[in-house]
Amino acid sequence: MLMAEKNLSNEVEKIISSSKTVLSKEDREFEKYCKLFEQKFKRHAYIAEPSGTKEQTVKAIKICLAKNKDVLDQLLYGEKLEEKNRVY
């Protein structure tokens, strides 16, 4: 029984290692800029909720990197963030 389990385990490993996920150009670009953002600002980038897109996030990250300033929240949420932080 032990040999059968070992063979099964080997077969599963072969299947997992042979199945390569192919990312779209947009996904690769998103991953690339998220890594750059994390390296620069020591926090994870994110897609704005509820209707944000990867493309929108990549554009915002590029602006942050160009300005050398973490303004991701302001770029993705803009007025919504200002309203939330407003003191009346």
Q: Reduce the DSSP state of residue 50 to 3 states and report it.
A: coil
Q: What is the mean pLDDT of residues 31-53?
A: 94
pLDDT of residue 54: 94
Question: pLDDT (tens digit, 9 = 90+) per residue, 5-24?
Answer: 777 788 878 777 766 678 89
Contact 33, 45 (CB under 8 A): yes
How far is the C-alpha of 33 from the C-alpha of 65, rounded, in Å? Answer: 9
Directed axis angle between helix 54-67 and helix 25-41, to 10°? Answer: 40
CA atoms within 13 A on the CB side of 6: 3
**What are 51-61's pLDDT values in tens digits?**
899 999 999 99
Chain Cα centroid distance, residue 1: 43
